[in-house]
Each structure stands twice: as C-alpha cells, then as structure tokens.
Structure 1
Amino acid sequence: MNADQKKAVQSLKTAKGQIEATIKMIGDGRYCVDVSNQILAAHSILKKADLLIIRQHLNHCVREAFEKDKGDEKMNEVMRLLSKIMGK
C-alpha cells in the first residue's frame, strides 16, 4: 500500500466515523442543520479519499499504460470517471 492509498484508507475510516455519528445524531433527534453539516463533512472527506485514489491511479496505472503504448484506453477511462464526478 502506497502513501496515497494509506491516506485514502484513513480518510475513509474518518468518513465512516462521521457517518456513524450522523446516524446517532438523527436517532438522538439532533437539530437538522447540525445533522446536515455532519453529512457535508462526510461528503467532503469522501471526495478527498476519491481524489487520492485517482491520483494514485494516474501516478501508477496510467503512467504504466503510457509506457506500454496503451495510454489512450486509460485516459478514456479517467475521462469517464471525471465525467461521473462532475455529474456530466
């Protein structure tokens, strides 16, 4: 596991804790705006983890594909992924 993957796993564990806390907040009848803020925090950390994984993919898988003259396929894959992220 490389550094980006380790950071991504840590971010995912943090998001898991935030989601569990959010579920508890709802069960406890906490103020809706506070619950929403917790959801936004979890969403933000999930995006961070996703970017770390994408960076790892670019630095390793895509680079290797270009070295083997198969970069076009990987670039199309990344573009499809980015389109999903952007909601397009």
Structure 2
Amino acid sequence: MNEDKRKALQALKTSKGQIEGIIKMIEDDRYCIDISNQIIASQALLKKANMLILRQHINHCVKDAFLNNSGEEKVEEIMGILDKIIVK
C-alpha cells in the first residue's frame, strides 16, 4: 500500500470514529452546534481521504494510461469526479 492510500485509510478510520461519536452525541441529546462542528470535522476528513485517493489514481492509473495511449478515458473519469465534487 502506498503512502497516499495509507493516509487515506487512516483518515477514513478516524472519520469512522468521529461518526460513531456523532451518533452518540445525538442519542445523548447533546448541543446541536457541538454536533454540527463534529459533522464538519468528519466531512473534512472524508474530503482529505478522497483527495489522497484521487492523487494516487492520477499518479499511477492515469499516468500509466497515458503511457499506454489510453489516457483519454481516465481524463473523462477524473472529470466526472470533479463534476461531482465541484457542482454538488
């Protein structure tokens, strides 16, 4: 496993723990702003994990595709992901 994937996995595991904590906060009827702040922190970790995975994909899969003259398909995949990230 390369460094980007290792970091993404760690961010996802941390986010999982945060989400479990958020669920408990809601069950315990904690202050809404505190819950919201924890949700924002979890979202930031998910975004970080996604960017690490995308960086790994570009550095390996996309690079290899271009070296083998099939990069256009990979560009379309990346554009589809960027559309989801930017527009939604």
TM-score range (shorter-chain normalised) is over 0.9
Q: 1:26: Cα distance to partner?
A: 0.5
Structure 2 SS opposite 1:69: coil
Residues of 2 paired with 1:21 and 1:39: CA distance? 10
**Pair 1:38-2:38 in alignment:** yes
Query: Over residues 29-64 of structure 1, what are the superposed CA-to-partner deviations in whole Å (9 max), with x where a residue is unaligned?
Result: 100000000000000000000000000000000000
Residues of 2 paired with 1:17 and 1:40: CA distance? 14
The residue that corresponds to 2:55 in the other structure is 55
Which one-letter code corresponds to 1:25 in the other structure? Answer: M
The residue that corresponds to 1:77 in the other structure is 77
**% identical aligned pairs:** 59
Moved over 2 A (4+): none
TM-score (ref. length: structure 2): 0.97
Which one-letter code corresponds to 2:18 in the other structure? Answer: Q
Where does structure 1 lack aligned partners over 5 or more consecutive residues?
none
TM-score (ref. length: structure 1): 0.97
RMSD between superposed Cα atoms in Å = 0.8
Structure 1 SS opposite 2:41: helix
